[in-house]
Amino acid sequence: MAGVDGLCGPVADFLAYLQIERHASPHTLLAYQRDLQVLQQWCGEHAGGDVLQLQGDDLRAFVAAGHRAGLAAKSLQRRLSACRSFYAWHLRHGRIQASPVAGIRAPKAQRKLPQVLDADEAVQLVELPTNVPLGLRDRALLEIFYSSGLRLSEVCALRWRDLDTATALVQVHGKGRRERLVPVGSHALAALAAWRADSGGSDDAPVFPGRNGGPITQRAIQLRIKQLAQRQGLFKHVHPHMLRHSFASHILESSGDLRGVQELLGHADIATTQIYTHLDFQHLARVYDAAHPRAKRVDKGQ
């Protein structure tokens, strides 16, 4: 099977599986394509060109070559993860006898905690004036992000039919076409109702339409949120995923229910959600340092 951008054979077969059977997003497909294209090119230069003939030592050399080229540990991890999924799929289909990636680990990357808004900053951001052009739309946009912790792609895909005001739930079409129901807060419901009354959207219409009447683009939302944050006096680099991080952090901080946060975010693996426990512990440490009489550091000059 011929693939895009020069990819063919086993790599193109795997990408077709991701696209057709797994319904992977364009972003995910592009990431896999880039990493496997590098593998295919390296194989052609160093190992005869057949990626299904590579052995464990070949994959170690491949990872080492990326490390010598200055690739960051996180990028090496992503690249190795793509190779792991690629070979696992071919192993299931009997095209190889064993995965050459088994037992290979990329260098550990320093884990960066996501940036979040505190509760006051979040309120400051979402409480936009609505008596300005696009004010009702912008208020509804920010409220649904912070109220329900949706991904950028999920907000772009929202249709009015997905919103059930009677139960205060929104049906979200997430990654891999997984669907979930997420609560919508009262402030977000009010903002959405005001926006719908102003825009007159039908059930099948996008909640946030673009200029051509179809769903608004992700880039348009990213730029708009950056502008709105600056207008509201927040000079952090505010972006849609920061609102999702803030939602998760604030829910976990109040409830301590990691499984619940996992369900709300639509994470397939709870390990993805666990990063928010570190944020929560940071908050607890700050509370402790500020409140406990024995937490304060002793001045060495005393």
Q: Do 240 and 152 form a contact (C-beta atoms < 8 A)?
A: yes
* Residues 214, 206: Cα–Cα separation, whole Å: 7
Which residue among 22, 67, 187, 267 is the active-site one? Answer: 267
Distances (CA, A) of 52 to 96, 142, 149: 7, 47, 41
Which residue among 175, 180, 226, 239 is the active-site one? Answer: 175
Burial class (CB in 10 A: 0-12, 13-18, 19+), 38: middle
Annotated catalytic, 22? no
Annotated catalytic, 34? no
Annotated catalytic, 241? yes
**What type of residue is 133?**
P
Tell me which H or E stretch contains 224.
helix 218-231
Which residue among 137, 151, 245, 250 is the active-site one? Answer: 151
Which residue among 22, 74, 173, 241 is the active-site one? Answer: 241
**What type of residue is 90?**
H
Annotated catalytic, 237? no
Phi then psi for residue 209, to 5 deg, are -80, 155
| DSSP-derived 3-state class of residue 30 | helix
* Residues 15, 7: Cα–Cα separation, whole Å: 9
The radius of gyration of the chain from alpha carbons, rounded to an integer in Å, stands at 23
Annotated catalytic, 226? no
Tell me which H or E stretch contains 129.
none
Which residue among 78, 79, 224, 244 is the active-site one? Answer: 244
Tell me which H or E stretch contains 169.
strand 169-173
Tell me which H or E stretch contains 19.
helix 9-20
**What type of residue is 169?**
L
The 3-class SS string of 152-177 reads HHHHHHCEHHHEECCCCEEEEECHHH
Annotated catalytic, 175? yes
Tokens at 163, concatenated:
């919103």
Tokens at 52, concatenated:
């299904």
Catalytic residues: 151, 175, 241, 244, 267, 276
